[in-house]
Amino acid sequence: MKNQSIPIRFGLLIAAALIIYFLLLSLLDLHTKPIFSLFNGVITGAGIYLCIKSYYEYKGAKFKYQKGFMAGLVAGFLATFIFTLFFGIYATNFDDTFLSEILKGWQNDNNTSVAMLLFVVATMGFATSLVFTLSFMQLFKTSWNTKKTNEKIAGR
């Protein structure tokens, strides 16, 4: 049962870190500048790496690529879902000027709403989670390029 709780635990920790970082930016009045959202990738990446590493250490020799991949995805997707919910609640209930400030650069002929903003936040989070999980799994997968495998291929 513990192996199933690893991605959930890390997903919740990633979401908490993202929310704390956003609130810190809000206190400094920097939360309307999209450039600071780049650090969200660092937070998410670190959390996914630690999740996969923890799952790898828990499983040991029984570690399978597919299960490690799912652990990273679950952690990242859960964190993205929770952060997107928080972002939506914050944008609609806590800061009246936030939505107009952040959408100022988007406003052209289209009527951009909070739903479009939440869609973008969620898509960015899901894409970041997928890319980091794929990247980090390369560090934890077992290599096929070993002496034993090469001898099998050569027929020795």
Distance in Å from the first CA to the final CA of the chain: 42
Q: Are 74 and 11 in contact (CB under 8 A)?
A: yes
CA-to-CA distance for 9 and 58, rounded, in angstroms? Answer: 14
Q: ∠ at Cα 136 (130, 140), nearest 5°?
A: 130
Predicted pLDDT at 1: 43
pLDDT tens string, the chain, 156 residues long: the values are: 455 688 899 999 999 999 999 899 888 888 777 778 788 889 999 999 999 888 888 877 777 878 888 889 999 999 999 999 998 888 888 877 777 677 676 655 566 677 777 888 889 899 999 999 999 888 877 666 666 655 655 555
